[in-house]
Amino acid sequence: MTDVQTIWDHLVKGPLPHIVLTLIAYQIGSWVYEKSGRNSACNPVLLAIAIVIAVLTLTNTTYPVYFDGAKFIHFLLGPATVALAIPLYRQIDTLKRSARAILVSLFVGSVTASASAVIIAWALGADRATLVTISPKSVTAPVAMAIVEQLGGIEALTAVLVILTGIFGAIAGPVLMNRMKIDDWEARGFALGIASHGIGTARALQVNKTAGAFAALAMALNAILTSVFLPIAWSLIV
């Protein structure tokens, strides 16, 4: 019994509980999402975040302690993003035919995503650090945080804004496009990828393979374009 107790204490204090919590929370979110008929409002990422926050609050667990245990899942974000190249490759012929429309849409969408956020925040009286922090909110989290670190913003706040943007886009994006009667899967996927990065891409992949491929392409190209033009834009503004 002493050996069992020792092993249990080691597991509780180690990363296993936080990894298990994260996986279970997402599985519950996915189950609710499927049972709701894939209702956008029941986004599994949003539900998983709510469950994790509730458990951490009830157990008085600080976020640094939780993240230290679940950082292995965070590490997998990189390989998961690279794996999006698979559906992208399967749609390579379609992508070649749409190259011109993709480039125009990428530039307009990327600039609009950053500029609209900065202009609204500036109009509301935000300071420079906040403006820098919010500007890459539609870029995938690792790239957005690297950009903000370079420009002198607040990395932790950027991470929060990126996640909120992704969740909101994944929920509201399909509804808005349905209202606008946009039924082309290529356009729908590309829009979600630019506006809502990885979370929007995951949503697109759940709905349609073509939409998922275009969303993955948009997410990757938007990250590249934003990481280039945003530092240049800020240097010109300053």
Give pLDDT, residue 6.
Answer: 59
The answer to whether 91 touches 214, Cβ cutoff 8 Å, is yes
Give pLDDT, residue 218.
Answer: 87
CA 44 to chain centre: 13
Q: Domain limits of the chain?
A: 1-75, 83-238
The answer to whether 69 touches 15, Cβ cutoff 8 Å, is yes
Burial 83-102 (b: 16+ CB within 10 A, else e): ebeebbeebeeeeeebeeeb
Dihedral sign for Cα 41, 43, 47, 52, please: negative
Q: Identify the CA nearest to 171 among candidates 19, 23, 29, 73.
A: 29
Give pLDDT, residue 124.
Answer: 92
Q: Give dist(CA 182, CA 159) in Å, integer.
A: 30
Q: Give dist(CA 124, CA 140) in Å, integer.
A: 25
Quickly list H helices, 59-180.
Answer: 63-75, 77-83, 85-90, 92-97, 99-123, 128-134, 141-151, 155-179
Give pLDDT, residue 27.
Answer: 92
- Give pLDDT < 70 ranges for the chain: 1-15, 81, 84, 87-88, 91, 238
CA triplet 53, 191, 43: central angle to 5 degrees?
25
Helix, strand, coil fractions of the chain, as percent rounded to 5: 85, 0, 15
Q: Give dist(CA 166, CA 198) in Å, integer.
A: 7
What amino acid is encoded at 49 in this protein?
I
- Say what angle helices 99-123 and 185-207 make with each other, to 10 degrees: 80
Give pLDDT, residue 120.
Answer: 92
pLDDT digits (tens, 9 = 90+) for 6-44: 554 555 566 678 888 888 999 998 899 888 887 777 788
